[in-house]
Amino acid sequence: MSEPTTRNRLLRTLPPGELEELLPQFERVDVHKGEVLITVGQPLEFAYFPEGGLSSNLAVRNDGRRLEVGCFGYEAMVSTSTVLGSDRAPHEILVQVGGPWLRIRAEALRSVMRRSTALHDLMLRYTHTLVMTLSQTALSNGAFTIEERLARWILMAHDRLESDELPLTHDFLALMLGTTRSSVTLATQAVEGYGAIRAKRALITVRDRGVLLDLAGSSYGPAEAEYERLIGPFRDKPPHA
């Protein structure tokens, strides 16, 4: 009998015996592009562990304006509020690229955490790295140019999608960067002019990751380095340049 497996990076760091005990409590669900999986203030019935795709944490104003504060893929779980003892969602969760996810009832996850020191500590370490990502996004939005922010966001998507082809529209990018579609178009053209990407309708192809890293500067990297220090790499193989 083969050992139970998952592509979720967090769960894969658990000791094999604990992962074997935990996985039967999950069910697999498919999420789809454009789906709002969780709304602000929604009761958190489930915790989710993505195995693929790309999604965003969105802060939502009273007038409905939305701004991305973090993105995540198969290195993550949703929502850390479950880990911290809250039963309500602080952010909207929007799916940008669909994929398979694992879900477990929130109370079942908390019950296992009470028994498993390994899972408890892992969830706290991940929550710490998420807070760093949120902080880095705030710094990026306030202290970096739109070209630098765009380079950072493309790198984050590249980390998680395991492909040089990123199916991202300018409308999505405008939402992620908190700016207008026309500003995203100009920034994309500028980044493309450096040879870092090739942009077509609803598709960005990464041509040179090294150039993206140079463009993003210190807006990208601290949160990712902390994840790797405390949990492990995002990928089995690093993205190629």
- Residues 126 and 153 grouped into a single domain: no
pLDDT band, very low/low/confident/very high, at 31 (cuts 50, 70, 90): very high
Lowest average pLDDT, out of 81-90, 109-118, 144-153, 220-229, goes to 81-90
- Quick check: 50 and 74 in contact, CB under 8 A? yes
- Residues 190 and 108 grouped into a single domain: no
- Residues 131 and 155 grouped into a single domain: no
Average pLDDT over residues 104-116: 93
Q: Is the pLDDT of residue 238 over 60?
A: no
- Residues 18 and 96 grouped into a single domain: yes
CATH number of the domain enclosing 120 = 2.60.120.10
Q: Is the pLDDT of residue 237 over 70?
A: no
Given this model, what pLDDT does residue 181 score? 84
Given this model, what pLDDT does residue 236 score? 62
Sheet holding 36-38, edge to edge: 36-38, 92-97, 54-60, 66-72
pLDDT band, very low/low/confident/very high, at 111 (cuts 50, 70, 90): very high
- Quick check: 219 and 148 in contact, CB under 8 A? yes
Identify the residue with better confidence: 172 or 108.
108
pTM: 0.89
Last residue of a domain, one of 139, 159, 180: 139
- Quick check: 61 and 16 in contact, CB under 8 A? no
- Residues 67 and 116 grouped into a single domain: yes
Average pLDDT over residues 197-224: 93
CATH number of the domain enclosing 170 = 1.10.10.10
Mean pLDDT of the chain: 89
Q: What sign has the CA pseudo-torsion 24, 25, 29, 34?
A: negative
Q: Is residue 102 part of a domain?
A: yes
Q: Is residue 165 part of a domain?
A: yes
- Residues 123 and 149 grouped into a single domain: no
Please give the share of the chain, as a percent, with pLDDT higher than 90. 63
Given this model, what pLDDT does residue 240 score? 47
Q: Is residue 236 part of a domain?
A: no
- Residues 50 and 86 grouped into a single domain: yes
Query: Could you tell me the residue range of the domain that residue 39 belongs to?
Result: 9-139
Task: Dump pLDDT digits (tens) for 158-192.
Answer: 999 988 999 988 888 887 787 888 888 899 999 99
End-to-end CA distance of the chain: 39
- Residues 133 and 149 grouped into a single domain: no
Given this model, what pLDDT does residue 202 score? 85
- Residues 152 and 53 grouped into a single domain: no
| Count of domains for the chain | 2
As to burial, measured by CB atoms within 10 angstroms (0-12 exposed, 13-18 middle, 19+ buried), residue 3 is exposed
Q: Is the pLDDT of residue 3 over 60?
A: no
Q: Is the pLDDT of residue 38 over 80?
A: yes
Lowest average pLDDT, out of 44-53, 103-112, 133-142, goes to 133-142
Given this model, what pLDDT does residue 1 score? 36
Q: Is residue 190 part of a domain?
A: yes
